[in-house]
Amino acid sequence: MSARPVSSFSKTYGHLWFVLPGFAFFLAVMIFPLLFATGLSMTNWSGLGNDVSFIGLANYVEILTHWPFYRAAMHNAFIFLAILVFQHTVGLYLAVLLNEKPRFMQFYRTVLFLPVIMSLVATGFVWTLMLSPNIGLINPMLEKIGLGFLAQQWLSNPTWALIMIIMVTAWNSMGWAIIIYLAGLQNVPEELRQAAEMDGANSRQVFWRVVFPQLSPAFTALTVLTFIGTFRTFDVVYVLTGPLGAPNFATDVLGTLIYRTAFGGSSFSSADIRFAFGVAMALLTMVIMAVICWGLIRILRKREIES
């Protein structure tokens, strides 16, 4: 039998045929829409009608002085910081507790992870019902246990509303923190702790000086995931306080702002819809997030251990 010799070209590049289907798919669903959106963001298209003209970077320039964009970004940043602190404290603490393999560990783990797998739209709706000052459960419960003075118009007070958004987000995302930290903790060899203990460290010193530094990959992953998650948050806000980020935009985030700009926030008028401007905001947000993510990963990776 004689086979045709394989050409050196196909030896070097033949494997690319196998990449082609995936690449074509990627091109169709990622690259092309991205280019299309980039083009669209340089027009003044409102989303309706044929009135489209090229306006260059005017949309981007306008964003720089668009106060709602900064307001929304500030809220995202605030949520990010709060969730970050929460996950690296409460999340870590719960992970450490779970790592001690308590009785009913499976149960606790399931309960703590459950919010992650439940639809935020559904749970968010339940939260609005619970927090409602009219039909909610929280205020009457506080009154019943003698803490009536703590009762609040949770979602109508601008400060509290943002805190509630943070709380529900924290509740929802804590499962990730726990799972990521738990995985990290379970990778720390038992002998490392024992060695530190032998060397005279008390349990706090064992944790902070020996165990915690081993968790830096988990810390990095969680920080970056939290950053991405909180800066693209939409559903919590949309469900809890509506597309306008009620009250008075106190909970408006980039997600709702972009949605409202591109699709409208009122069922009575679409006069304020500016689709192309919304696309420009979305793209700018994406670019800024990518840059910050890159920076975060660079900084945090440096702390990690060479293995």
Partner 1 sequence: MASVTTRALTKTYEGSEKPALDALDLEIKDGEFLVLVGPSGCGKSTALKMIGGLEDVTSGDILIGEQRVNDYASRDRDIAMVFQSYALYPHMTVFDNIAFPLQIAKVPKDEIARKVEEVANILQLQALLHRKPGRLSGGQRQRVAMGRAIIRRPSVFLMDEPLSNLDAKLRVKMRSEVAQIQRTLGVTTIYVTHDQVEAMTMGDRVALMRAGVLQQVDTPDNMYHAPANTFVASFIGSPAMNLFHAACENTADGAVLTLGGQKIAVPSAALDRYPGLKDRASGPVIVGVRPEDLEDARLKPDHPTDQVIEAEIQLLESLGSDHMAHVALNATPVHDDEELGQEDLDLTTGSHEGICICRFSSQSRATRGETVRIAVAADRLHFFDPDTRQALRPLGD
Partner 2 sequence: MNKTTTWLAALALSAGAAQADDVTLTMWHQHPEWKAATQAILDAFEAENPGIKIDLEEIAGTNYSARLNTALAAGEAPDLFALPAGPETLAAAEAGYVAELTGKVDTSTLREAARGAVVGADGKVYGVPILGSYSVGLYYHRDKFAELGIEPPSTHDELMAMCRSLNEQGVTPMVVPASDGIVPSFMYMMLTASVMGADGFEALRHGERSFTDPDMVEAAKALQEMGQECFQPGALSTPYVEGKAMAAIGRGVMMPGGSADYVGYLEINPKADLGVMPFPGVGDNPPSTVTGLEYIFLVNSKSEEQDAAVTFLNWMMGETAQQMVVDTITMTTHNEVNPQGNRILDEFTNAAKSKDVRVWYELPETGGVWSVVQQNTAALILGEMTPEEFAQAAQDAVSPSAR
The contact set with partner 2 (CB under 8 A) reads 46-51, 128, 132-135, 153-156, 158, 161, 240-244, 246-249, 263-273, 275
Whole-angstrom distance, CA of residue 155 vs CA of residue 132: 7
Q: If DSSP codes are grouped into helix, strand and coil, which group holds residue 215? A: coil
217, interface contact from partner 2, partner 1, none, CB < 5-8 Å by kind:
none
Alpha helices in 134-274 (DSSP H): 138-144, 158-186, 190-198, 203-205, 212-214, 216-231, 235-241, 254-263
Cβ at position 302, least distance to partner 2 in Å: 43
Q: Whose Cβ is closer to partner 1: residue 4's or residue 101's?
A: 101
161, interface contact from partner 1, partner 2, none, CB < 5-8 Å by kind:
partner 2
Q: Is 114 among the residues that bind partner 1 (CB under 8 A)?
A: no
Whole-angstrom distance, CA of residue 95 vs CA of residue 89: 10
Residue closest to 124 by CA, chosen among 74, 77, 171: 171
Q: Whose Cβ is closer to partner 2: residue 240's or residue 283's?
A: 240
Cβ at position 266, least distance to partner 2 in Å: 5
263, interface contact from partner 1, partner 2, none, CB < 5-8 Å by kind:
partner 2
C-beta separation of 182 from 91 below 8 A = no
List 54, 191, 267, 271, residue binding partner 1 (CB under 8 A): 191
Residues 197-256 close enough to bind partner 1 by CB under 8 A? 197-202, 205, 209-210, 213-214, 216
44, interface contact from partner 1, partner 2, none, CB < 5-8 Å by kind:
none
Stretch that binds partner 1, among 80-88, 127-135, 191-199, 275-283 (CB under 8 A): 191-199
Q: Which residues, 6 or more positions from 113, have their beta carbon under 8 angstroms from its beta carbon?
A: 175, 178, 179
- C-alpha angle 287-294-70 in degrees, rounded to nearest 5: 45
Stretch that binds partner 1, among 20-28, 109-117, 196-204, 221-229 (CB under 8 A): 196-204
Q: If DSSP codes are grouped into helix, strand and coil, which group holds residue 232? A: coil
Sole residue written with tokens 């947000």: 285
DSSP code, position 49? S
47, interface contact from partner 1, partner 2, none, CB < 5-8 Å by kind:
partner 2
Is the alpha carbon torsion for 100, 105, 110, 112 positive or negative? Answer: negative
Q: Whose Cβ is closer to partner 2: residue 40's or residue 92's?
A: 40
Sole residue written with tokens 């609005």: 128
Q: Is 100 among the residues that bind partner 1 (CB under 8 A)?
A: no
Please give the residue ranges that form the binding site for partner 1 (CB under 8 A). 189, 191-192, 194-202, 205, 209-210, 213-214, 216, 305-307
